[in-house]
Amino acid sequence: MSPNEFLIRPLHTTDTEKLHKIITHPVVTEMLLKMPSMEFSETAEWVEKQTPGHHRLIIEKEGEVIGYGTLTHEQNPRRLHAGNLSVVIHPDYWRQEAGTAVTNALLNIADNWLDLKRIQAATFTHNTAAINLFKKVGFASEGTRRMVSFGAGKWQDDHVMVRLRHTDALQPRTSPPPPRPSQTEVENTAVSIRPPLAQDIEGLHRLLTHPAVGRTTFQIPSTELSRIKERIEPRQPSLHRLVALVADEVVGNIVLWQNSSPRQSHIGHLGMMVDPAYWGMRIGSQLMDAILDIADNWLNLKRVELEVNTDNPAAVHLYQKFGFAIEGTKQFHMFGDGRWADSHFMGRIKE
């Protein structure tokens, strides 16, 4: 079928009813991480709420809405070169090049209007049609995430796929890490682990804006104190945070966010940072012990996942010690400290 037989246009609120019928089709529901009980009001809310960096296109055939595609431009300052793409086509129109048509339209926006270098897509490992579609337009697999969803009575894995563009012109992806700061000797008994308090905000701000911490995380040295306050107050129910203190000074921070999607509520996303002056002092191990106790014995999470720069071998080794395995590597994942960084995505499965 010729792409000219399709009409591709921006989404409009009048599309809500037709989109809801597509999204609640049993086959589509499974592929979209949705629930069979999804109500019309949920679709209407999604249609009416366009968030920054969110580009949505409708595809029609003979006046009938048959699917849509989304391109989400990353808003993190260090990831403005990247976006995430997804495509949904009603099963009655599979194998008619509709998916290819809307994907190419989104890639035109990514390439010629946003100048994105990295486009990511995720698809279940059993969705061979989507995998073949993405491969056809230049995507390649970066790895496989295990137990990323539960639906239709079974656990499901997904492939993380990427399309890179003009990356050969970018700076080298690796550079020597900064010299390790002089370290302070700390006895394990001198370290206390507890949830953060309002009085910790300045200490957290100092930690998050440390250049060496920024290099190994998504942080940026210009983050203002007010932004840290926004993260601490008020606490979100799905967010579990702990700080490590030595002599009442914040020297480490760890966060576990439980996924709010009903089909992914078994997943926790983990992030950690430690003051470089205390690297190698088991601060990270103590934080990991404490947060994984919450994950295992209080939340009963089946999967905990994280991302870590490939040029941070000490952190990779620490996570492996706690049962995390490298599931894949995201190329040109972020920019910071004057270099492009790749990131491993790692997962820990609780049997």
Residue 4 pLDDT > 90: no
Residue 176 pLDDT > 60: no
The model carries a pTM of 0.91
The stretches of 278-335 forming alpha helices (DSSP H) are: 283-297, 313-321
Q: Which fold has domain 188-349?
A: Aminopeptidase (3.40.630)
Q: How large is the average pLDDT for residues 304-329?
A: 96
Domain spanning 3-165, CATH class: alpha beta
CA dihedral sign of residues 228, 230, 231, 233 = positive
Domain residue spans in the chain?
A: 3-165, 188-349
Beta bridge partners of 339: 336
Q: Identity (one letter) of the amino acid at 282?
A: R
Same fold, 3-165 and 188-349: yes
**Contact 143/329 with Cβ under 8 angstroms?**
yes
pLDDT value, residue 287: 98
Q: Give pLDDT tens digits for 228-271.
A: 777 777 778 899 999 999 999 999 999 999 999 999 999 999 99
Local confidence band at 316 (pLDDT 50, 70, 90 cut-offs): very high
Measured distance CA(326)–CA(310) in Å, rounded: 10
Query: Which one is predicted more confidently, 155 or 228?
Result: 155
Q: Give pLDDT tens digits for 17-74.
A: 999 999 999 999 988 899 999 999 999 999 999 888 999 999 999 999 999 999 999 9
